[in-house]
A and B are shown apart, each in its own frame.
Chain A
Amino acid sequence: MNTTPKQDQQRFENHLKHLKKEKRHVWAWQFVIFVVFFAIWELSSQLQWIDPLLFSSPSSIADLLFQKATDGSIFLHLRVTLLETIAGFILGTFIGIFLAAILWWSPRFSKIIDPYLVILNAMPKVALGPIIIVALGPGYVSIIAMGAIISVIITTIVVYSAFQDVDENYLKVLNSFGATRYQCFKEAVLPASFSTIISTFKVNVGLSWVGVIVGEFLVSQKGLGYLIIYGFQVFDFTLVLSSLMLIALCAAIMYQAVDRLERKLIKNSK
């Protein structure tokens, strides 16, 4: 049976309409869950089903955030934590990639260092907190170091294994042109591992937040982690929860940014 182009076009438009409808459904449900969650929270807090002192309520969190936004103090804390996290993320990721490159460069060094890497990776990095603070002083340097150290070893291991998985034949092609080891790295190994490197970015965004918040728990006078621990000490759980909300929001935005970056870079490299 023959179909005219017009019918085909009609089917295509129906298909698009269907996709759009599906998307609207998903959004609607996401919105409903959001509203219902906060409504139940607010209601149960108002009606004393849960202890408002412990679990606060969306309205008091909003009040507090608004008040802190008008006097500007929240932005100071937000800025400190954000800068520390971004610095920790960048340092951790790039030092990790650099170490992976060194391991790839010298297979013998990589064999020698292997058991130490395993131990460093297995160790909970947060436990190094007190030592880092003693070594680097109780300031933002220590906190950035915490944000970095938590992701550096796992980045090294993951990226190094991606370097090793690069198809030998690409190197064979380059070697037949007389390429140096540096050229092999730059032209084949690094670009071929690009997608792995980007996916470690995503993991490291989350890890850096953990490192920085724990760092702020241990030592600091500013930052969202400090607000959480301070709110805990003075039993102000509205403060704790509002910091938590801000952290969740910022972490999600950073994750989305990395995700955008990934899609852009992957599109260019394929």
Chain B
Amino acid sequence: MGFLTLEHISHQYFTTSSYTKAIEDINLTIDEGEFVSFLGPSGCGKSTILSIVSGLITPTEGNVFVNGSPISKQSTSIGYMLQQDYLFPWKTIQQNVLLGPYIQRNVTQEIKEKAIHILEDMGLGNVVTAYPTQLSGGMRQRAALARTLITDPHIFLLDEPFSALDYQTKLKLENLVANTLKKYNKTSLLVTHDIGEAIAMSDRIYLLSANPGKIAATFQVPNHLKSLDPFDARQDADFNDLFQEIWKELNALEHNS
């Protein structure tokens, strides 16, 4: 029994004129501390899976278990990182990072010091009192990571968190996020459409087919790639082999549909 289990998850979206099946019969098990990615064409319900794991939407069928008990019945803390940082522009960086504890009425001196500590770790120690508009895109996304880390979530959900950044910033942040999550031993789910990013960051990759979203293939990332930083992993020979393999599989999926 893994840490996070998805059992026969299906989800439909309804409109007034019709309904669409976003995902169908998703089964998977993720161990604690594992980093998995979901790859697939747009419209394959990648983000829907994250929303279901987070508990923001209830699947029309199936169950999500964390440590063997259904997710709706417990208060597993979930960290969510979105495509954009969604820092609140009217709050300072420190207030943004303390948003979770503030909402949970849990702002102590200890938490405040932890916030400063995390921000310093992210190289944001000198912009604590700045407002988000004064920061670059990469800095903002780092602040968003700090905001997610501070509540010490059990599960980390990453919904294309690097897609709005320029390439160089994206590579740097991949390293930072992967190392940080490894350091804190977080279970993480990444949604992306970038094959390279999926290989460089994760332990396992699920390839989804579209309409409805189903698991089409699973790839295990070789152990020595896992141990490398994402940036170094991109330079490895095995990286290219796996890239080609996934590339072919993705193309095949497109032809079949």
A interface with B by C-beta (< 8 Å): 167, 169-170, 172-179, 183, 187-188, 191-192, 194, 269-270
Contacts and interface: CB of A to CB of B under 8 A. Distances in A.
B104 A176 contact: no
Closest 7 CB pairs of A and B: A176-B80, A177-B100, A269-B90, A177-B103, A179-B103, A191-B90, A169-B86
Task: Name the prevailing secondary structure of the B interface residues.
Answer: loop
B151 interface: yes
B131 interface: yes
Given A167-B86, A169-B84, A175 B100 contact: no
Contacts of B84: 169
B177 interface: no
Nearest to B82: A169
Contacts of B56: 172, 175-176
A172 B82 contact: yes
Contacts of B88: 170, 187-188, 191
Contacts of A169: 82, 84, 86
Contacts of A269: 89-90
Given A177-B103, A178-B104, A270 B54 contact: no
A178 B103 CA distance: 7
B90 A183 contact: no
B30 interface: no
Given A169-B82, A176-B79, A178-B75, 17 more contacts: A170-B88, A172-B82, A172-B86, A173-B80, A173-B82, A174-B103, A176-B54, A176-B78, A177-B99, A177-B100, A177-B103, A177-B151, A178-B103, A178-B104, A183-B103, A187-B103, A269-B89
B134 to A, nearest CB: 10
Nearest to A180: B103
A270 B80 contact: no
A175 B131 CA distance: 22
Interface string B66-102: 0000000001001110101010111000000001100
Nearest to A176: B80
B4 to A, nearest CB: 16
B136 interface: no
A169 B90 CA distance: 16
A240 B111 CA distance: 66
Nearest to A179: B103
Contact of A270 (B104, B133, B151): B133
